[in-house]
Amino acid sequence: PHRSNTPSDFAIMNADLSAKIPRETSHALNRFYEDRRLVCMGFGSGSNRIQMYLSGADTRMTHRHHDVMSLQLFAGRWDVFPDLGYLWDHPGKQWATSTPSHQTVTIDEMNSLGAEPSKLLGYVDQGRSRFVDIETKLHGGITLRRAVTLLRKSDGLPILIDIFDVEGGETHDYHMR
């Protein structure tokens, strides 16, 4: 019914907004958000940028999807590995918040539930490649470790090298869609 103002910042996933972070909408973001255990890595700017997100969150403090070690990748206008988003009152919400819908691993056919915050073991956000190595513990004594290298080819498209190790459980189902 009225003209909207410029968008305001609000705390998504319990983010701390006391210190404003400058927006970098035209350039790929390379940053580790320690409070959210979120890794952002990418190359380029504008419509040709490549952006990857890796969540090491424990799923208790954030948006409560069962997405421990989830991976998202966007290349230019392509949603290569997207997150399904938020389906608040949709019948598909249960699947959209489940582990199999988040480019991660399901162990013994159960949704993942983090037991503690992840540990950042390695992080490189400059140069010709991007790299992250992160580890976390799930309930039941299961350990997840994911090391991802992101490269940009000469044609601007990405190469993603993903090494995902699981210790514990009986059956490991790796989901990429």
Pair of tokens at residue 166: 């699981």
- The residue among 5 and 97 whose pLDDT is bigger is 97
Give the closest residue to 177 by CA, choosing from 108, 89, 112, 95: 95
CA pair distance 68, 59, nearest whole angstrom: 7
pLDDT above 90 as % of the chain: 42
Which residue blocks in 65-119 are alpha helix, DSSP H? 93-96
Q: Dihedral through CA 161, CA 83, CA 176, CA 151, nearest 10?
A: -10
Averaged pLDDT for residues 130-151: 95
Mean pLDDT, range 140-149, rounded to an integer: 95
Q: What is the token pair recorded at 176?
A: 């990429």
Q: What average pLDDT score do residues 41-68 get?
A: 80
Q: Between 7 and 165, whose confidence is greater?
A: 165
pTM: 0.78
Do 26 and 45 contact (CB within 8 A), yes or no? yes
pLDDT for 61-86, tens place per residue?
Answer: 555 677 788 899 999 888 898 876 56
Q: Are 98 and 10 in contact (CB under 8 A)?
A: no
The tokens for 118 are: 């992840």
Residue with the bigger pLDDT between 152 and 36: it is 152
Q: Is the predicted pLDDT of residue 140 greater than 70, yes or no?
A: yes
DSSP single-letter state for residue 86: -
